[in-house]
Chains A and B, each alone.
Chain A
Amino acid sequence: MGMTHIVDRRLNGKNKSAVNRERFLRRYRHHIKKAVSEAVHRRSITDIERGENVSIPSRDIEEPVFHHGQGGKREMVHPGNQEFVAGDTLPKPQGGEGGQGQGQASPDGEGMDEFAFQITQEEFLDFLFDDLALPNLARKKLKDTEAFKYVRSGFSTQGIPSKLDVVRSLRGAHARRLSLGGARKRKLRELQEQLAALKSAPADLDAAFSHDDQIKALEEEVARLKANIRRIPWIDEIDLRYRQHVKQPQPATSAVMFCLMDVSGSMTQTHKDIAKRFFILLYLFLKKNYKKIDVVFIRHHTSAKEVDEEEFFYSRETGGTIVSSALKLMHKIIESRYSPEEWNIYAAQASDGDNWNDDSPVCGKILADQILPLVQYYAYVEITPQDHQMLWYEYEKILATNPNTFAMQQIADAGAIYPVFRQLFERKAA
């Protein structure tokens, strides 16, 4: 007795299985990547706040051991006999499947063959971006935001009428009136009492001793005091108090993200999938910095159109390409809905580099003159393994003159998305 030792282990770490779990995910990364890929296809780019359900065919994760097969002769003992006696026979079920108590299939005949589990958002993102751990994007500020917020910081004697604090000003005036007028009023009361006393006293017969002179002098004094008191202003300039505010730099909490994409015939679904991942990354990045994010999708071929996400990624178009149409539309949308004072504007443009040659200089001009002054950052990704075309060279000129707000990179395949994203956004790292 007394040989028992009781230990509280609850504070010891849980997650002892974390490594084994990680090993499991590692082993089945191909399955998981596939599930993640499908999920990306299915999900909206703003829907990245959760993990994903993954299922793997059970046979793929089985740990095989030697065991008995079907057939032969076997005997099993079971409990709960009701009416059997030795020698009874029972028909075998059709299909030849084994003995009693075996193979309870799920009602729909499915689901038993799948090993299903959940991966976390973090793991989801890891798999999404090719196993590369996402750095802490929050620490990287693109550019100091220029919005400010005024916060109260006491009162001041100077200010504009709209900041006047009436209650506080009147209280000050009252105090001033009291302090300035108080002594005089007391004096006035005394004089008036004396005056009243003199007036009510019986008049002396001797004129030489009459009170008239005294009364007259007192009356003059009273009149003077009254005028004095009357001259104390009811409210004076020095009574006025204004609410004081100081400017505190405040990151604007709203951002708008423009996704521009070429949907002309030359952009394949693979191109679009790469673009989608890029847009997701940008969204994730902004999400860490801003409370509210609007996403505007502009797709274009020869003309541009603002569309919803579904149409943006999955509808097909044919024909040529005029990139400037999208830039013009973007500018129009900014002017009408997203004032740069209130919104942090980001834009990502994805294209295979194809453009109608005469249009490329127009693009450069619109970007440099109209759009770049309004946006925090504009990133251009060219999804092509091939040589560049006119648009690329035009954009290179812009890069030279606007290195802080403009960035461009080429993505050859899905594996390069993340590194390219990092290059694009690292440059501005604080």
Chain B
Amino acid sequence: MTGTLDNPAEKKIVEPVSTGSEWTFELIQRYDDEIAKCAAEFGLDTYPNQVEVISAEQMMDAYSSVGMPVGYHHWSFGKQFLNTSKGYQRGQMGLAYEIVINSNPCIAYLMEENTLPMQALVIAHACYGHNSFFKSNYLFRTWTDASAIIDYLVFARNYVAECEERYGVDAVEQILDSCHALMNYGVDRYKRPSPISAAEEQRRQKDREAYLQQQLNDLWRTIPKMGNDDEQTRRQERYPPEPQENLLYFIEKNAPLLETWQREIIRIVRKLAQYFYPQRQTQVMNEGWATFWHYTLLHRMYEKGLVTDGFMLEFLQSHTAVVYQPPFNSPWYSGINPYTLGFSMFTDLRRICEAPTDEDKEWFPDIAGSNWVETLHFAMRNFKDESFILQFLSPKVMRDLKLFAIADDDNEEVYRITAIHDEMGYRSLREKLARQYNLSYREPNLQVWHVDLRGDRSLTLRHIPVDGIPMGDSSNEVLRHVNRLWGFDVHLESVEGDTVVEEFHCPPRPMDGDASGTRG
């Protein structure tokens, strides 16, 4: 309408960047320029971007290698690829619009099939959302080295290929299978790892070999001391002195029979586990952050008159699909959608800063009314999913998502609703949801407990059950992998208090009544 001035501050008439939906490289470049300007307004700090336009087939390739641009060869990636291409060809599954890699420069893939508004969405989401998260979140800063990862992947692929050539595909495949089975137990959760570097790895391989051999020799000095080597003392001199949670590290350093190249492969898988470790703990935050920013940045573009109504319509349609949360009783329900939860939380955080209610002031006295950009950045930098939820999940988000908690106790005949989105339930609901994102709650808590140094060299792992939840049915299978790596007998015991409630052995023990499967 003539005569209406929505934004008197912006005097010059701005033309939209584009009006059609076909993309060109020039247009992608122009959108990126404009999105970058908007991102700078909000203080998003990013690695340089490398945007790669790829085809659907290439996207499937990228999928099957967990998004890694280079990777060693393994059948499991082939299985992943078959699955992906099958789903895609039957039209059962659309491909993700984007894959983004935590590297410096930050690599983002755009699929050529995307329309122009989709490309802009992906750029805002990946190149400015995820990218700034990778660069600033404390877990990523601590655990990953964005500038070294690509080189390291190349190093890893070449090393594995060299081993295949030298020792045969089967031998390498066996080691990798076993390492993959233990990949979730290949991370020091509390110690800061040393940074990875391909050149350094190569240089140190030799030194490490010599040093490790020396250590192993010390550890496995096999001549037993005569005399006082009775059962009692053997029990007392426990090795390791403290329980170890990084199974792969422990095996790499202590397994008696492994060849050097096998230890190197364990190390490679361990380093990759470490690289992925932050992603597993920040899914809600990372996706929520990226979604919040594609939403915010593109709205900013719209405010500036840089995109058309048609563009926004298409963009909002995709955005809505991304943050859709089916209710628990829907056939489409498969748990809480991390995009929804994260986006809702960051959006609500902004609201709490900008327009706090009395409830907000009571729940979030420190941030209600604060500068929202600073507060959001603070949250993004210093938390992981578990602590983020514990700290920032607001009653309003719980109400909006209609969250409720349900308890399943195998001693009870019924399920019990333990908390809902009401005054009584907010705190407990928030704790329960936060705990759900705690890795050590999601996965069995396992540690290296004991190695029988002077006896049969067996390795004992200890499982500390939480809430009486036993080990799953694949435990024997995984134990076989541990056994393959360790080279001697392997035991796994679930211990509650001082009572062993369940045992697994590899090789399996002859069934003699009290052996396995007895639970208290």
Binding site for B on A (CB under 8 A): 1-10, 12, 14-17, 19-27, 61-82, 84-92, 98-101, 104, 115-118
Contact = CB atoms under 8 A, between A and B. Distances in A.
Contacts of A82: 327, 329, 402
Contact of B326 (A22, A69, A80, A98): A80
B409 interface: yes
Interface in B169-199: 169, 173, 177, 180-185
A299 to B, nearest CB: 40
Contact of A76 (B60, B436, B481): B436
Nearest to B123: A4
Given A14-B55, A63-B181, A66-B478, A4 B36 contact: yes
A101 B61 contact: no
A22 B79 CA distance: 10
A98 B408 contact: yes
B469 A79 contact: no
B406 A73 contact: no
Interface in B127-175: 127, 169, 173
Contacts of A99: 406, 408, 415
Interface of B: 25, 28-29, 32-33, 36-37, 40, 46, 48-55, 57-58, 60-61, 64-65, 73-83, 86, 105, 109, 112, 127, 169, 173, 177, 180-185, 325-331, 333-336, 340, 401-411, 413-422, 424-425, 429, 432-433, 436, 443-444, 446, 465-475, 477-478, 481
B478 A84 contact: no
Contact of A73 (B327, B408, B414): B408
Contact of A92 (B51, B415, B446, B478): B415
A104 B50 contact: no
A9 B336 contact: no
Prevailing SS type, chain A contact patch: loop
A31 to B, nearest CB: 12
Given A16-B61, A61-B79, A100-B328, 18 more contacts: A6-B53, A7-B53, A10-B53, A12-B54, A17-B64, A24-B79, A27-B173, A63-B180, A65-B184, A67-B444, A71-B410, A71-B470, A72-B467, A81-B402, A81-B420, A100-B415, A115-B82, A115-B83
B104 to A, nearest CB: 11
Nearest to A6: B51
Given A24-B78, A88-B416, A88-B417, A79 B481 contact: no
Contacts of B53: 6-10
11 contacts: A5-B49, A10-B112, A24-B81, A67-B444, A69-B475, A78-B328, A80-B327, A89-B414, A92-B408, A99-B408, A115-B79
Given A19-B73, A20-B64, A69-B469, A4 B55 contact: no
B446 A5 contact: no
A63 B73 CA distance: 16
A14 B61 contact: yes
Nearest to A10: B55
A7 B446 contact: no
Contacts of B64: 17, 20
Contacts of A15: 57, 61
Contacts of A3: 36, 46, 48-49
Contacts of A117: 82-83, 86
A3 to B, nearest CB: 4
Given A9-B58, A66-B446, A89 B51 contact: no
A104 to B, nearest CB: 7
A12 B58 contact: yes
Nearest to A56: B79
Contacts of B49: 3-5
Given A1-B37, A26-B75, A66 B406 contact: no
Nearest to A74: B408
Contacts of B425: 86
B58 A4 contact: no
Contacts of A78: 328, 333, 336, 403-406
B181 A65 contact: yes
Nearest to B330: A80
A15 B60 CA distance: 9
B420 A86 contact: yes
Contacts of A9: 52-54, 58, 109
Contacts of A77: 336, 403-405, 429, 432-433, 436
A100 B443 contact: no
Contacts of B54: 9-10, 12
A77 B76 CA distance: 32
Contact of B468 (A5, A26, A73, A85): A73
A65 B280 CA distance: 15
A398 to B, nearest CB: 47
A68 B472 contact: yes
A201 B64 CA distance: 113
A58 to B, nearest CB: 11
Contact of B417 (A5, A24, A27, A85): A85
A64 B181 contact: yes
A80 B340 CA distance: 13
Contacts of A6: 25, 28-29, 32, 51-53
Contact of A68 (B48, B74, B415, B444): B444
B416 A79 contact: no
Nearest to B435: A75
Contacts of A69: 469-473, 475
B105 A24 contact: no
Contacts of B473: 69
Contacts of B401: 79-80
Nearest to A119: B82
Nearest to A25: B78
Query: Nearest 10 A-B pairs (CB), nearest first?
Result: A80-B327, A24-B78, A72-B469, A20-B78, A72-B468, A78-B328, A64-B477, A64-B474, A20-B77, A14-B57
